[in-house]
Amino acid sequence: MSLRRGLLLILPFSMGFAGFMFVIAVALQEGAGRSPVQAGFALVPLAVTFLFTSIAGPRLISRFGTRVVTAGLR
């Protein structure tokens, strides 16, 4: 059951995240006038947040159960 729930949650997230990353990179370059490297560095805090969240995920699931994955969407 939790595998199905996880797959159903990850599909729209992955599709939306790819589009978001493209749009934010273009907006930083065209709208804010940043270079591609500056735009990449501007997204580092987001990448670090994803890293620590993915590391904490298994611990949170073992502590609170699989519902924590669904709660992360809110």
* Domains: count for the chain: 1
pLDDT in tens, 55-69: 988 888 888 887 777
Supply the pTM of this predicted model.
Answer: 0.61
Residue 24 · residue 43 · CB < 8 Å: yes
pLDDT in tens, 23-72: 999 999 999 999 999 999 999 999 899 899 889 888 888 888 877 776 76
The number of residues making up the chain comes to: 74
SS3 assignment, position 30: helix
Structural domain for 28, as ranges: 2-71
pLDDT of the residue at 74: 61
